Chains A and B, each alone.
Chain A
Amino acid sequence: MTQIEDLTIKEARKLLDSKEISAKELTEGALLQIEDKNKELNIYLEVYDDILEQAKLAQKIIDQGDSKDLTGIPLAIKDNILIKGKKASAASKILENYKATYTATAAKKILEQNGIFIGRTNMDEFAMGGSTENSAFGVTRNPHDPEKVAGGSSGGSAAAVAANMALGALGSDTGGSIREPASFCGCVGLKPTYGSVSRYGLMAMGSSLDVIGPITKSVADAEIIFNVIKGQDKYDSTSHIPVRHDGKSVGSLQDSSRDLRIGVPYHLLEQDGISREVKENFEESVEKLKNLGFEIKDIKLPNIDKSLTIYYIIMPAEVSSNMARYDGIKYGLSLDGNPSTPLRTSNLMEVYKKTRGEGLGPEVRRRIILGTYVLSAGYYDAYYGKAMAAREVIKNEFNKAFNEVNVVLTPTAPTPAWKIGEKTSPLENYLADIFTVTANIAGIPAISIPSGFAKINDKDLPIGIQLMSAHGNENVLFEIGKNFLGETT
Chain B
Amino acid sequence: MSISKEDIKKLADLARIEMTEKEIEKLSTEIDDILDYIGQISHFTKASRDEFDENQIRNVMREDESDPEKPDSREELIGEFPEREGDYLKVKKIL
Contacts and interface: CB of A to CB of B under 8 A. Distances in A.
Interface residues of B, number: 49
A342 to B, nearest CB: 11
Contacts of B82: 328-334
A351 B16 CA distance: 9
A365 B49 contact: no
Given A99-B79, A366-B30, A346 B92 contact: yes
A395 to B, nearest CB: 9
B71 A327 contact: no
A410 B62 CA distance: 41
A152 B30 CA distance: 21
Contacts of A388: 49, 52
A376 interface: yes
A389 B52 contact: yes
Interface in A373-422: 373-374, 376, 381-383, 385-393
A350 interface: yes
B80 A331 contact: yes
A84 interface: yes
Contact of A389 (B37, B47, B77, B81): B47
Contacts of A425: 30, 33
Contacts of A39: none
Q: Which of B14, B19, B77, B92 has the most CB of A within 10 A?
A: B92
Given A352-B16, A372-B14, A390 B33 contact: no
Contacts of B30: 366, 425-427
A392 B17 contact: no
Interface string B44-87: 10111111110000001000000000110100110111110000
A427 B37 contact: yes
A72 to B, nearest CB: 25
Contact of B19 (A329, A336, A357, A430): A357
A368 B17 contact: yes
A346 B94 CA distance: 9
Nearest to A387: B41
A353 B82 CA distance: 16
Contacts of B53: 392
25 contacts: A99-B76, A99-B80, A328-B82, A330-B89, A331-B82, A332-B80, A336-B92, A347-B93, A350-B92, A351-B92, A356-B16, A358-B18, A365-B17, A369-B15, A369-B27, A372-B14, A373-B31, A381-B49, A388-B49, A389-B48, A390-B44, A392-B51, A425-B30, A427-B30, A430-B34
4 closest residue pairs by CB, A with B: A357-B18, A334-B82, A237-B60, A389-B47
Interface of B: 3, 7-8, 11-12, 14-19, 23, 27, 30-31, 33-35, 37-38, 40-42, 44, 46-53, 60, 70-71, 73, 76-77, 79-83, 89, 91-95
